[in-house]
Amino acid sequence: MAPLALARRRLAGARLPTTPLASAGLVTALVLVSLLLRSRGIGGPLWIDEGLSVGISSFPFLEIPSILRFDGSPPLYYMLLHAWMEIFGRSEGATHVLSLVFALASIPVGLWAGWSLFGSRAGWICAGLFALNPFLTAYSHETRMYSLMVLLGLVATAAFVHAFVLDRRRFAIVFGVVLALMLYTHNWALFFVAASGATLLAVARRRGEQRWSIVRDGSLAFGAAILVWLPWVPTLVFQATNTGAPWSNVPTVGDVQDGMGAVVGGLGPAIGLLLVAGTGVSHVVRRRRSIERLEMLTLAGLALGTLLLAWGASQVSPTWAFRYLAVVVGPLLLLTGVGLARARRQGVAALALVALMWLPQGVAPEPPASERSVVAEVEPLLGRGDLVVSTHPERTTVLDYYLPSGMRYLTSLGPVKDPRYMDWRHVLERLREARASKTIKPTLDSLDAGKDILLVRPITERRSQWKSPWTALVRRRSAQWARLLREDPRFVRRAVSPDGAYAATSGVRATLYTKVHD
């Protein structure tokens, strides 16, 4: 314990850099450390959603919004990824780097947010949190919009406090612009908008004579953001009435706890940060007339309000996923950083301990049943025009990414016109009504003798992961379609990847058949 105590005293007593040159040097060092940690996952295999990102973004730039009518997402990230791929290519590593850029940008932005609102100590602690946070690390090498959403949520939160708590009204413009960008990035931004509106009213109520100017400026900022977002609303309405998230379950209270654990890297760091940062926050909150108290309550309102609204809405229409919590990471880490700063020595010690717990122990090896691994084994046996059957329909995009061009695709929903996107319209009803006699058997009958068919089905041995309405039905249809091919005497099995009953517990298994006679 002596070395830890000595390190804590040194950290607590160290003087923070305040000159521009020293600050630039330290923030550069933090970015480089974060880059070293987060670049380890660059170039890993794409999973389902990443395949969707690359597939949708490969359409012509102006066609992307219309394609997203069938998917359920806003267009900003996909259009940015399209432009990025035009310059850097569509390899796994190239697409991952875009997310890494957003994650690294959150470090200096976190420094600015903490420093400008609560002082230099809070700024540097916030920068450290954003440099090492495992949630942000995980999504810094994933071809999805979540690291961008963390960055935008952080900027929006800081701008909100500057504009409406500290009366720096020029930041109301920043808040409005960033709010519009969030709405065009992920639909959970709607919960942030609602939480921000409620928090604005609560702040105005406490500001006495300034309340009407706060309400006026806030209304202008919200109004401008919503006005910019209005062209997308018809598409959102179409998505809401025709697509959905049938793969999601209704979240429980335990899911909220698990989600917070995922945001801060596990139960241990969550408890430590809650205790120490909570102590620092409580010191400030007890000062009833302090403007800093109102700042902290505002951060809490933005973070917890967004979380509770998302949880409540998912009780009615399940759209819950841990990765969607990216929208609350910005305000939550900012509040945590301020709490640690106000806890002083205990806060610095807690930061050092949590940083050690957050340091990645290395990137997990590529799973043997990832689409990339499986396709690499069977691709030499395939020829142009061969049929690929995916019983998990949304995996078609990532299979198309790894398989050579010229393949024909079929899912348990029927023939696929374009494998670069997934048509989620009324998908649960369509899969319930799907019958082999209509979706697969006609294609099998028309296949010429000597042609190959690659059956790709998810590995569903872990039944606990296949309990939602959509995944449970996919599991059942996968078993039915596999049995159909296995028992058809016209087809002979030639290869399986991965082979063996216990080769993998998740991912996909590909079985190659050849039609030997009509």
CA atoms of 335 and 126, how far apart (whole Å): 9
Q: Quick one: which of 54, 149, 159 has its CA closest to 96?
A: 54
**Same domain (yes/no): 158, 68:** yes
Cα torsion 120, 125, 130, 131 to 10°: value is: 100
Last residue of a domain, one of 328, 358, 388: 358
Last residue of a domain, one of 358, 380, 401: 358
CA atoms of 322 and 182, how far apart (whole Å): 18
User: For residue 189, what are the CA distances in angstroms to 264, 282, 303, 320, 428?
Assistant: 20, 29, 12, 13, 26
Give the DSSP H or E segment for 390.
strand 387-390
Whether 24 maps to a domain, the answer reads no
From first to last of its 518 residues, the chain has per-residue pLDDT tens of 444 344 344 444 445 666 777 788 889 999 999 999 999 889 999 999 999 999 999 999 999 999 999 998 999 999 999 999 999 999 999 999 999 999 999 999 999 999 999 999 999 999 999 999 999 999 999 999 999 999 999 999 999 999 999 999 899 999 999 999 999 999 999 999 999 999 999 999 888 778 889 999 999 999 999 999 999 999 999 998 888 667 677 888 888 888 888 888 777 777 888 888 888 878 777 776 678 889 999 999 999 999 999 999 888 887 888 899 999 999 999 999 999 988 888 888 888 888 888 886 566 777 778 899 999 899 898 888 889 999 999 999 999 999 998 899 999 999 999 999 999 988 889 898 888 878 888 888 888 888 899 999 998 877 777 888 888 889 999 998 899 898 999 999 999 988 765 556 778 999 999 999 87
Whether 204 maps to a domain, the answer reads yes
Name 428's bridge partners: none
Can you give the length of the chain in residues? 518
Domain that includes residue 216, residue range: 30-358
81 close to 98: Cβ distance less than 8 angstroms: yes
What is the distance between the terminal CA atoms of the chain, rounded to a whole angstrom? 76
**Same domain (yes/no): 353, 433:** no
45 close to 372: Cβ distance less than 8 angstroms: yes
Residue 84: other Cβ atoms inside 10 A? 18
Bridge-based pairing of strands 452-458 and 414-415 is unpaired
**Same domain (yes/no): 332, 223:** yes
CA atoms of 13 and 7, how far apart (whole Å): 10
What is the domain count for the chain? 2
* Orientation angle between helical segments 326-342 and 146-164, nearest 10 degrees: 50
Within 13 Å and on the Cβ side, how many CA atoms surround 292?
20
**Same domain (yes/no): 73, 189:** yes
429 close to 360: Cβ distance less than 8 angstroms: no
**Same domain (yes/no): 265, 351:** yes
**Same domain (yes/no): 338, 428:** no
Whether 9 maps to a domain, the answer reads no
**Same domain (yes/no): 409, 471:** yes
Name 453's bridge partners: 387, 513
Give the DSSP H or E segment for 508.
strand 508-515
**Same domain (yes/no): 403, 349:** no
Name 497's bridge partners: 510
Last residue of a domain, one of 358, 391, 413: 358
Name the amino acid, one letter, at 68: L
Whether 272 maps to a domain, the answer reads yes
Name the amino acid, one letter, at 314: S
**Same domain (yes/no): 53, 171:** yes
**Same domain (yes/no): 198, 60:** yes
**Same domain (yes/no): 410, 387:** yes
Whether 111 maps to a domain, the answer reads yes
**Same domain (yes/no): 344, 376:** no
pTM exceeding the 0.75 threshold for the entire prediction: yes
Q: Quick one: which of 304, 325, 281, 269 has its CA closest to 132?
A: 269
DSSP 313-368: HHHHS----GGGGHHHHHHHHHHHHHHHHHTTHHHHHHHHHHHHHHS---PPPPPT
